[in-house]
Amino acid sequence: MSSTATPKVVLITGTSSGIGLAAAVAAARAGWHTVATLRDPRRADALRKAAAEAGVELDIRQLDVVDEASVAAAVDGVIADHGRLDAVINNAGAGHLGTLENDTVADVRKVMEVNFFGVLNVSKAALPHLRAAGGRLITVTSVGGVVGQPFNEAYCAAKFAVEGYMESLAPVAASVGVSVSVVEPGAVATEFVNNVGLDPEAEIAAAGPYAPALDAYVTRTVAQFLNGAQTQDEAAAAVLEALTAEHAPFRLQTSDWARDFTGMKLKDLDGSAVVETTRTWVA
């Protein structure tokens, strides 16, 4: 992007930490006017520090993805101030550990609320502006949006839901000039696990007949995060690719591990075969 051109505007959700923080800094470094949103702007210290270290400026605003009024205020504010919105990165999300017998339905609804309806709230508010800009709608899902994983029933259901929604939307959005992509990380060293807010020993003690399975799962997952996690910058590189590639594929994995894992299930790893087929249904 030339320094004299009006910069394109990207809005990113959930930038207080992790992949969202790294993607915001990477997008600003790539020349985008970056609207870095947080549900609680008082938690922006790490974001401001990372931006200062990278020598970039961010446009930091409040946005809680589960609060429609907050979403509308943020999107309307961007349009009022900049007159355009070229891309949205739905990054905000939250993990959950549990299983059918031990979760309440309310627990599962809460997981869907953030990871699925939150994405919907932001995407719906943004789409008219993305359409005007010929823009991009990018959502950070997970390998758990393709492959179900133990004790992640609710989280994977929400991420499957997002992937199904976006895969269905992609040909329709393409018919009006908007590109839709999902980005699938595997384990990434962020605040994600801490933010689940669990005491693993207490969870295992309370898991009844599922205690041995949960114990094994927790042991395996801790080892995976200690030994095999990507950095948030590595994961954000795939988000930036979805944002800047001339023709972004529908589906991008953030690592070889994520490609191998989702590849166990996906014949159409980057989603191009599906989207090229369904595009012909609306052409």
Ligand X SMILES: NC(=O)c1ccc[n+]([C@@H]2O[C@H](COP(=O)([O-])OP(=O)(O)OC[C@H]3O[C@@H](n4cnc5c(N)ncnc54)[C@H](OP(=O)(O)O)[C@@H]3O)[C@@H](O)[C@H]2O)c1
Active site residues: 155
Distance CA(34)–CA(17), nearest Å, equals 15
Determine if 45 is a binding residue for ligand X (CB under 6 A): no
Say whether 9 sits in a helix, a strand or coil: strand
Q: Is 275 left (phi over 0), alpha (psi -120 to 50) or beta?
A: alpha
Angle at 95 between CA 18 and CA 265, to 5 degrees: 100
Quote the least distance from Cβ 249 to ligand X, whole Å: 18
Residues with Cβ within 8 Å of 227's Cβ and at least 6 positions away in sequence, in order, are none
Which CB atom, from 65 or from 275, has the smaller least distance to ligand X? 65
Quote the least distance from Cβ 184 to ligand X, whole Å: 7
- Which residue in 8, 10, 11, 13 binds ligand X (CB under 6 A)? 13
Say whether 1 sits in a helix, a strand or coil: coil
Structure tokens at 78: 């961007």
User: Per-residue x/- marks for ligand X, 108-127, CB under 6 A?
Assistant: ------x---x---------
Which CB atom, from 94 or from 213, has the smaller least distance to ligand X? 94
Which CB atom, from 86 or from 184, has the smaller least distance to ligand X? 184
Residues with Cβ within 8 Å of 89's Cβ and at least 6 positions away in sequence, in order, are 10, 11, 12, 13, 20, 23, 27, 138, 139, 140, 239, 243
Number of residues this chain uses to bind ligand X (CB under 6 A): 29
Quote the least distance from Cβ 192 to ligand X, whole Å: 3
- Which residue in 192, 210, 250, 261 binds ligand X (CB under 6 A)? 192
| Nearest in space to 124 (alpha carbons), one of 114, 112, 137, 142 | 137
Neighbouring C-beta atoms of residue 243, cutoff 10 Å: 26
- Which residue in 9, 10, 12, 17 binds ligand X (CB under 6 A)? 17
Determine if 191 is a binding residue for ligand X (CB under 6 A): yes
- Which residue in 10, 11, 19, 248 binds ligand X (CB under 6 A)? 19
Which CB atom, from 96 or from 129, has the smaller least distance to ligand X? 96
Q: Are 154 and 103 in contact (CB under 8 A)?
A: yes
- Which residue in 8, 10, 16, 207 binds ligand X (CB under 6 A)? 16
Quote the least distance from Cβ 232 to ligand X, whole Å: 6
Quote the least distance from Cβ 13 to ligand X, whole Å: 5
- Torsion, CA 239, CA 241, CA 243, CA 246, rounded to 10: -160
Determine if 93 is a binding residue for ligand X (CB under 6 A): yes
Interface residue list for ligand X (CB under 6 A): 13-20, 39-40, 43, 64-66, 91-94, 114, 118, 140, 142, 185, 187-188, 190-192, 195
